[in-house]
């Protein structure tokens, strides 16, 4: 019995030793391939400092990058947004789809075109909902929405309506601009509230956003807008390469006027050859599968033109 145990121990040692020897012996071909891959990675992947543009502005108001603290803060946002490549590429794609909706409204309302980038940093051009329940592209709070005439309830929430929410954002920004005399401060007020910005200006006895000592979020806010503007305006300079066909396109729609209750939006959608999902994609402000509308209010519901979606409706 002892002899068998000794034999088993010896065999175990030899087996373990054999595994160790095998593990330390490198396949020369595999080793060369690995070295080649490592060399390629080192040579091809580089992280570069971002040259600071000579002239940066927001809505025609210069960013004073000659001040060292301003330069550092601007540099931070350019670096963060340049090297967050996946998010950056998504922003290019979405901007191609949604800027053509936002830009004409900004022009009609007399708000600088640069404010489309405010929507980008607020929501990444998605129907986002923040922890504070700010909602939609422009991240509008419920109280503000109602103050400016948007309908917000369980059935309809017009903060999700791109055109209507853009007009509300414009009204808020114009009011802030009238108060502060600066589009830059108006943008800061959009984030921190007009009362909050005014209180800090008075307490610190300064006149401009760039002279204010602010908290982390509002202190970065305008710099983020300017960085996104710079990058989206100059994709190749910041390493973003794509073709026009890579970008998301705008789907043409027509409006259907509804002035009575709709009991079932699935049936409603099917009448126009689309399904409920597609109806909601184009009308996210419709929050339920029906429309109450006891007051007979007029709503315009968007229907995509034929040929853009393949569905199984009616099959």
Tens digits of residue pLDDT in 39-54: 766 667 788 888 999 9
CA distance 273 to 217: 45
Confidence of residue 122 (pLDDT cuts 50, 70, 90): very high
What share of the chain has pLDDT > 70, as a percent? 87
Give the pairing type, strands 253-258 and 57-58. Answer: unpaired
Instruction: Provide the CA 97 distance to its chain's centre, in angstroms.
Output: 13
d(CA 243, CA 203): 50
What is residue 46's predicted lDDT score, i.e. its pLDDT? 80
Q: Label the pairing between strands 299-304 and 57-58.
A: unpaired
Mean pLDDT of 245-259: 97
Q: Is 80 exposed, middle or buried (0-12, 13-18, 19+ CB in 10 A)?
A: middle
In terms of C-beta density within 10 A (0-12 exposed, 13-18 middle, 19 or more buried), how is residue 154 classed?
exposed
Complete DSSP assignment for 214-282: --HHHHHHHHHHHHHHHHHH-TGGGT----GGGSPPPPPEEEEEE-S-BS-HHHHHHTTT--HHHHHHH
Would you give the DSSP letter of residue 291?
B
Length of the chain (residues):
315
The region, left, alpha or beta by phi > 0 then psi within -120 to 50, assigned to residue 59 is left
Q: Examine the pLDDT at 20 and tell me if it is beyond 50.
A: no
Residue 9 tokens read as 């121990």
Question: Measured between alpha carbons, how far is 227 from 233 in angstroms, rounded to an integer?
Answer: 10
**Mean pLDDT, all residues of the chain:** 91
The span from the CA of 257 to the CA of 276, in Å, is: 17
Quick one: pLDDT at residue 98? 98
Residue partners of 311: CB distance under 8 A and separation at least 6:
273, 274, 275, 278
Note the pLDDT tens digit of each residue in 273-292: 999 999 999 999 999 999 99
pLDDT tens track for 152-211: 999 999 999 999 999 999 999 999 999 999 999 999 999 999 999 999 999 999 999 999
Residue 71 CB coordination number (10 Å): 14
pTM of the model: 0.85
CA 64 to chain centroid, in Å, comes to: 26
CA distance 32 to 36: 6
């Amino acid at each position: 019995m002892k002899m068998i145990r000794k034999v088993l121990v010896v065999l175990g040692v030899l087996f373990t030793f054999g595994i160790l020897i095998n593990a330390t012996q490198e396949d020369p071909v595999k080793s060369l391939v690995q070295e080649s891959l490592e060399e390629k990675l080192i040579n091809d992947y580089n992280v570069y400092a971002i040259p600071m543009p000579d002239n940066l502005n927001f809505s025609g108001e210069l960013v004073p990058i000659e001040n060292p603290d301003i330069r550092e803060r601007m540099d931070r946002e350019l670096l963060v947004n340049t090297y967050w490549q996946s998010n950056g590429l998504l922003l290019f794609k979405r901007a191609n789809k949604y800027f053509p909706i936002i830009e004409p409204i900004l022009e009609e309302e007399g708000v600088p075109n640069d404010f489309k980038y405010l929507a980008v940093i607020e929501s990444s051009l998605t129907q986002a909902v923040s922890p504070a329940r700010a909602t939609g592209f422009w991240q509008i709070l419920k109280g503000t929405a109602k103050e400016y005439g948007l309908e917000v309830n369980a059935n309809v929430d017009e903060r999700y309506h791109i055109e209507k929410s853009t007009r509300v954002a414009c009204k808020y920004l114009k009011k802030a601009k009238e108060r502060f005399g600066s589009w830059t401060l108006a943008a800061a007020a959009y984030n921190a509230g007009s009362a909050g910005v005014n209180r800090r200006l008075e307490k610190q006895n300064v006149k401009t956003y760039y002279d204010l000592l602010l908290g982390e979020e509002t202190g970065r806010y305008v710099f983020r807008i300017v960085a996104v503007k710079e990058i989206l305006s100059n994709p190749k300079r910041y390493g973003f390469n794509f073709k026009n066909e890579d970008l998301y396109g705008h789907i043409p729609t027509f409006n259907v006027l509804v002035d009575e209750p709709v009991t079932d939006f699935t049936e409603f959608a099917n009448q126009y050859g689309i399904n409920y999902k597609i109806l909601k994609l184009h009308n996210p402000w419709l929050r339920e599968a029906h429309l109450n509308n006891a007051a007979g209010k007029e709503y315009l519901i968007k229907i995509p033109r034929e040929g853009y979606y393949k569905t199984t409706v009616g099959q």
